[in-house]
Structures are given as C-alpha cells and as structure tokens.
Structure 1
Amino acid sequence: MALPWALAVLSLLPLLSAQSPECANFTAKPITNVTLDWLSGKWFYIASILRKPEFNQSAKKVRAAFFYFTPNQTEDKIYIREYQTIEDRCVHNNSLLLVHRKNGTMVREENGIAFFTYLLLSKNSRSFMFYYYPEDKQKMGLSILADKPQLSEEQLNEFHEVMECMGMHKSEIIPTDEKKDQCGPLEKQHEEERKKEQEGAKEE
C-alpha cells in the first residue's frame, strides 16, 4: 500500500499562486544536503487533506502512522521504513523516494508510474508538509508530518495557513490518532534486531 500521504502525480509547475502575497512563503524550495540531514529520523504522520477520491478513502483507513527517513545524499534518495495502522492492524513496508533537488520535489515509482510531491519545510519547528496536485482544485492534497505525534500550536497554525492558502477547509482534514497505533511492538522488535546486527558487525 502506498504511503498515507498518497504521493500524487504532479506537473512540475510553480507551487501555489505567486500572485497571492500571503502565499509567498509557502513555496517549494530547492532541496540541499542540509534539507536531507534535517529530514533524517523518525516522523509521525499527523493529518492530511486529499481530494482525489481513491486517496481520500485510503487515508481514512489510516488510524496512525510513523516513518523512519534515511537519506542518501550521494544517490539523492530517501529510504523509508513505514509503520501504518490500517484500521486495526499494523502494516510495515519499506519504500524509496527519489529526490529532485532543483524543483524541490520527491518522486516515488510504483509499477512503472512516477508519483510526485512538493516538499515544504517548516521554518521554526520540527514539521514539514507535502503538497499534491497544486494546480488542480479537484485533486489537490496536503499532508503534515512532525517529530512528535501531536502538533504544537505553531505547527497547527502553519498547517491551517497553508491549507487556507490552497483554498482548502478545516472540515476536509483527515486526522490520525496516536492512541490507535498498533505498530509499537513491531517497531520495538525491529529496533532490537537492528541493535543486535550492529553489535555483531562491531565484533567482526
């Protein structure tokens, strides 16, 4: 199953309306090594607005989710470990995002089809957003991830500002709930296995 933010096919057009002053700060920036370092680590999927029907339905089944991002600056790739609670069960997957530095986009390839998303980093807090289909009001989407399972007031306000800038409404938000997470035990098991592998490698 695809990531809950449902990476959507985009044409590489400027993000949001350049004519709107209040939207000036909400544009995709070129991705650098600093960006990739910043993205490294664990992120919680907090909420999204996805107007494309099939993505909307998939998102509504995600009760909670978190991811581990491991960027490779040389290859311009981000390796991802996904832990998603889909309805009442934990689903674990590994995936890969290809980084297009200049355009500020990331690409996921699945069954020969490329899915694009724009990246927007938060300026003052540990959160970021993905934009989908910014040029299509009927399909556009927005997702937010943060380093904690709940957003701070600052992060929430920024999410609302971007959402409103895109012409979306709070009533469209599909939230997650960390209390419904079923992947904690599997995550712990994987972390213990990784630790043993690392210890074994050191002994060799």
Structure 2
Amino acid sequence: MALLGALAVLSLLPLLEAHNLTLTNLTAIPLTNATLEWLSGRWFFLGSAFRNPAYKQAAEEIQAAFFDFVPNLAEDTILVRDYQTMEDKCIHNSTNLRVQRENGTLSKFEGGVEHLAVLLLPKNSRSFMLGFSLEDAQNLGLSFYGDKPHITPGQLEEFQDAATVLGLLKTEMTYVDWKKDQCGPLQQQQGQDKEEVEP
C-alpha cells in the first residue's frame, strides 16, 4: 500500500539530476518562488510510463488520483495532500516533499532513503511531468499531471512524445480512469456536510 501511494506522488524511484536531461520538448529548470507558487493548488494524475514491471503494475492499480500542493517558500518544502482511488475506495494521505531549487528536483524520505524526481515542464502551461531514473534503462519512468482530470489530445501527445524520446514503449504507458474516481465525490460530500454543521 505504501508503494502505491509513493507512485502516485513521486513514483519513488532513483532519479536523474536535472542538468543531465536531454529531452528537447521538456524543460528542467532551477526552482524559483514563482515556479513553486505556480505548482500551488490542485493537480490531477493523468498517466505514467514505467520500465520496471513491479512499478508499472503498482501504477496500474491507481484508478484515479489528485493532489493539493501547498508550497512553503521559506522552508523549501511542499505539503502534498493526496487523494487516490484504488480498488474502488478513496485513500487520503499527506506528506512533505523537499525542494532542491538548484537542480530542479523534489524529494521524499522513506525508510531512510531519499527518493528524487526531476520536475519537467512541457509546453502546455497547465501540466508538468516528473522524470525518474532517466539514465537507467531498467528503471526508467515518467509521470504526468494536469490541472484538470481529463487529458487533452495535446497533453496526450506531449506525454507520449516525451516517453518515446526516453525510449519508453506505448505498452509501458498507463492512464487513469476518472470515471472510477471515488475521492472527488467523497470530498464534495464532506464539504457539504461541513457547511450544514456551521451556524
């Protein structure tokens, strides 16, 4: 279960430093206050591509997921509240990510190990990708997020192009099914219940 949660946020694989990135249609940049403020808010997990079969299988078990990012600019952290639908149930967790501004990475400690993801910004201004183990052909990975729960044709093309440039195959790509989302309706119901209780 912990592996599935980690995959939804960062996939928790060893990752490439941003300055080694050679993708022509993506930009890895140092993280500024403006970048972190841009990341603030709700993001939807749209798809992923993983070479490692175990991680690919774990990603396929995530039916839908969305995240609320709350950056703390002074401490270089991001509070992440994640909502995942797995086995037709909503699972909610919170975690903190460390921000490494200079090399454009986000990281999380788990089990005494720091796991890194490089933040990649495609041309679409309301989406981003996280790159994983980009120089390790056996553990290569890419995950994709947007500001809306449904992937557009342009976003799909950007993701598939980036994955192809990395050498990932279409058979290694998986996408979420927002028709199966259990967290959005649950969150809306909780908000309505809270409003009814308040005087």
Q: TM-score range by the shorter chain?
A: 0.7 to 0.9
Take 1:124 and 1:111, find their aligned partners in 2: how far apart are those partners?
35
Number of residues of Structure 1 aligned to a counterpart in Structure 2:
194
Take 1:81 and 1:6, find their aligned partners in 2: how far apart are those partners?
15
Q: Give the structure 1 partner of residue 26 of structure 2.
A: 26
AA partner of residue 9 (structure 1): P
> 1:12, CA displacement in angstroms?
2.9
Contact 2:51/2:168 (8 A) holds in 1: no
Q: Give the structure 2 partner of residue 14 of structure 1.
A: 19
1:117 correspondence with 2:122 = no
Q: Percent identity?
A: 45
Q: What is the aligned-residue RMSD (CA, Å)?
A: 2.3
Take 2:36 and 2:194, find their aligned partners in 1: how far apart are those partners?
22
In structure 2, list runs of 5 or more residues that go unmatched.
none
AA partner of residue 33 (structure 2): N
Instruction: Tell me the SS of whatever aligns to 1:28.
Output: coil
Any idea what the Cα deviations from partners look like across 1:117-145, whole Å, max 9, x if unmatched? Answer: 01012333311000000010110100100
Q: TM-score, normalised by structure 2?
A: 0.88
Any idea what the Cα deviations from partners look like across 1:111-170, whole Å, max 9, x if unmatched? Answer: 211110010123333110000000101101001000111122221121122111101122
AA partner of residue 13 (structure 2): A
Q: TM-score, normalised by structure 1?
A: 0.86
Take 2:58 and 2:139, find their aligned partners in 1: how far apart are those partners?
14
Greater CA deviation, 23-32 or 176-185? 23-32
AA partner of residue 168 (structure 2): M
Take 1:13 and 1:40, find their aligned partners in 2: how far apart are those partners?
21
Instruction: Tell me the SS of whatever aligns to 2:179.
Output: helix
Q: Give the structure 1 partner of residue 174 of structure 2.
A: 174
Q: Give the structure 1 partner of residue 55 of structure 2.
A: 55
Q: Give the structure 2 partner of residue 157 of structure 1.
A: 157
Cα gap change, 1:76 to 1:193, in 2 (>3 Å) = farther
Q: Please show how residues 20-169 of structure 1 align to structure 2 within 5 Å.
A: 23-169=23-169
> 1:27, CA displacement in angstroms?
4.0
> 1:105, CA displacement in angstroms?
0.4
Instruction: Tell me the SS of whatever aligns to 1:62.
Output: coil
Contact 2:100/2:106 (8 A) holds in 1: yes
Greater CA deviation, 179-188 or 139-148? 179-188
AA partner of residue 12 (structure 2): L
